């Protein structure tokens, strides 16, 4: 509960600076961050004096248990959420109300305007997301736990890897092992891409493509634990690799190393991207590195900050980001390495520890 109070107080400081009297939070991830409540049937109204969660009350006991520090307004079954919020805002006498800027903000402003004739409504962007970028101790521990579940599951999957297994079967094993290792589920559907199919950065798993069809496989996976995410990518070697594969792999590994080494408080995100990208460009593969170097990690698998060429945001201690350079060669295959990295007061800490050297990623056996 103290954690929720601290987060709400930080949000209040931000809305005061914008000279608004209250802010309406409708994004369920942001509501979870502020309150701990995870059902998507609620809207949160935060003012300097009061924080009120308006809910359908489908799970009232859980709502009161998880949101004990918040006032609770249960809406009638026949009452629209916007109408319930308008009623609360009017009763509080709020004259200037902010709502989260989103794809639906214009519609929300219009709908609210019908019930709030005397209230000025403004859209504000990224206030809660900005707070979410800096992880507190409990968030860091949750991410570490999610990484642990993912890495244990990966080791279990590799131990049973066989050439006849399809990409779908390997992905399903990973999913099951992550749950066995304490995760509530995967952070996203695992990517298992054999040989040429790994040239697609977000390849969907195939029922017909099998591990033994090529000498290497890209696996991108992550676990959800205590609501927080992990995100990792490794290359698995299952046969005799070529000089070309070794050259591409070594280039990506060096780019990964440079990207991680660049992470520290005070550096713009785009400079971290540039450090890793320069390695790939120098090796002649620049046009085959198709995405940003990484992204923030937390309650969502992709959140701020983004490590990419157009991001001026400066890294701060407490941020957790992925570093995932890749080279994707059409009709040949792709190589990507990804780790989860915490920005510390004096540099960085690589939180994920799954083996990444080429020798460690070789899987013995008959393929």
| pLDDT single digits (tens) 249-302 | 999 999 999 999 999 999 999 999 999 999 999 999 999 999 999 999 999 999
**How remote is the C-alpha of 60 from its chain's centroid?**
29
Q: CA-to-CA distance for 48 and 13, rounded, in angstroms?
A: 8
**What are 88's two structure tokens?**
């609360």
The CA–CA distances, whole Å, from 324 to 81, 143, 233 equal 41, 17, 8
**Which residues are CB-neighbours of 185 under 8 A, at least 6 positions away?**
175, 178, 179, 223, 224
**Which residues are CB-neighbours of 360 under 8 A, at least 6 positions away?**
none
Q: How confident is residue 26, by pLDDT bands cut at 50, 70 and 90?
A: confident
3-state secondary structure the chain: CHHHHHHHHHHHHHHHHCCCCEEEECCHHHHHHHHCCCCCCEEEEECCCCEEEEECCCCHHHHHHHCCCCEEEECCCCCCHHHHHHHHHHHHCCCEEEEECCCCHHHHHHHHHHHCCCCEEEEECCHHHHHHHCCCHHHHHHHHHHHHHHHHHHHHHHHCCCCCCEHHHHHHHHHHHHHHCCCCEECCCCEEEEHHHHHCCCCCCCCCCEHHHCCEEEEEECEEECCEECCEEEEEECCCCCHHHHHHHHHHHHHHHHHHHHCCCCCEHHHHHHHHHHHHHHCCCHHHCCCCCEEECCCCCCEEEEECCCCCCECCCCCEEEECCEEEECCCEEEECEEEEEEECCEEEECCCCCCCCCCCECCCCC
* pLDDT over 60 (residue 339): yes
pLDDT digits (tens, 9 = 90+) for 91-107: 999 999 998 876 555 66
pLDDT exceeding 70 applies to what percent of the chain?
95
The CA–CA distances, whole Å, from 362 to 215, 245, 325, 336, 353 equal 10, 13, 20, 15, 16
**Given the structure tokens 């609620």, which residue do they identify?**
42
* pLDDT over 80 (residue 338): yes
Check if 2-132 and 137-350 are the same fold: no
Across 103-107, 220-224, 316-320, 353-357, least confident range: 103-107
For domain 2-132, the question of CATH label 3.40.350.10 is answered with yes
List the domain boundaries for the chain: 2-132, 137-350
**pLDDT value at position 312?**
96
Q: CA-to-CA distance for 139 and 74, rounded, in angstroms?
A: 29
Across 39-48, 159-168, 191-200, least confident range: 39-48
**How remote is the C-alpha of 115 from its chain's centroid?**
36
Of the two residues 5 and 1, the one the predictor is more confident about is: 5
Assigned architecture for domain 137-350: Alpha-Beta Complex (3.90)
* pLDDT over 90 (residue 157): yes
**What are 312's two structure tokens?**
């001026």
Q: CA-to-CA distance for 76 and 227, rounded, in angstroms?
A: 29
Backbone φ/ψ region at 347: left (φ over 0), alpha (ψ -120 to 50), beta: left
The CA–CA distances, whole Å, from 208 to 165, 202, 233 equal 9, 17, 22
**pLDDT value at position 262?**
98
Q: Rounded to 5 degrees, what angle do the CA atoms 94, 97, 101 make?
A: 165
pLDDT digits (tens, 9 = 90+) for 181-222: 999 999 999 999 999 999 999 999 999 999 999 999 999 999
Name the phi and psi angles at 308, rounded to 5: -150, 170
């Amino acid at each position: 509960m103290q954690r929720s109070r601290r987060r709400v107080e930080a949000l209040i400081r931000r809305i005061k600076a914008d000279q608004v009297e209250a802010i309406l939070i409708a994004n369920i991830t942001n509501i979870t961050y502020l309150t701990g409540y995870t059902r998507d049937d609620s809207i949160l109204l935060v003012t300097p004096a009061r924080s009120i969660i308006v809910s359908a009350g489908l799970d009232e006991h859980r709502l009161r248990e998880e949101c004990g520090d918040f006032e609770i307004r249960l809406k009638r079954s026949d009452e629209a959420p916007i109408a319930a919020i308008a009623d609360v805002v009017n009763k509080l006498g709020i004259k200037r109300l902010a709502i989260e800027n989103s794809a639906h903000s214009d519609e929300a402003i219009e709908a609210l305007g019908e019930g709030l004739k005397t209230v000025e409504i403004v859209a504000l962007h990224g206030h809660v997301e900005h707070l979410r970028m800096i992880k507190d101790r409990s968030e860091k521990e949750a991410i570490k736990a999610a990484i642990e579940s993912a890495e244990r599951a990966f080791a279990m999957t590799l131990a049973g890897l066989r050439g006849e297994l399809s990409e779908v079967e390997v992905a399903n094993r990973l999913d099951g092992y992550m749950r066995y290792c304490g995760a509530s589920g995967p952070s996203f559907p695992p990517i298992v891409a054999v040989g040429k199919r790994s040239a697609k950065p977000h390849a969907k798993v195939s029922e017909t493509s099998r591990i033994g069809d090529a000498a290497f496989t890209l696996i991108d996976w992550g676990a959800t634990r205590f609501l927080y995410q992990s995100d990792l990518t490794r290359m698995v070697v299952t046969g005799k690799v070529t000089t070309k594969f070794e050259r591409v792999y070594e280039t990506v590994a060096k780019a990964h190393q440079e990207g991680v080494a660049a992470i520290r408080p005070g550096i713009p995100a785009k400079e971290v991207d540039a450090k890793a990208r320069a390695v790939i460009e120098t090796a002649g593969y620049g046009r085959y590195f198709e995405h940003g170097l990484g992204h923030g990690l937390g309650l969502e698998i992709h959140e701020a900050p983004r490590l990419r060429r157009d991001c001026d945001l400066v890294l701060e201690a407490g941020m957790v980001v992925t570093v995932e350079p890749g080279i994707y060669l059409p009709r040949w295959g792709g190589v990507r390495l990804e780790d989860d990295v915490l920005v510390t007061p004096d540099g960085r800490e690589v939180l994920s520890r799954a083996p990444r050297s080429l020798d460690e990623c070789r899987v013995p056996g008959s393929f």
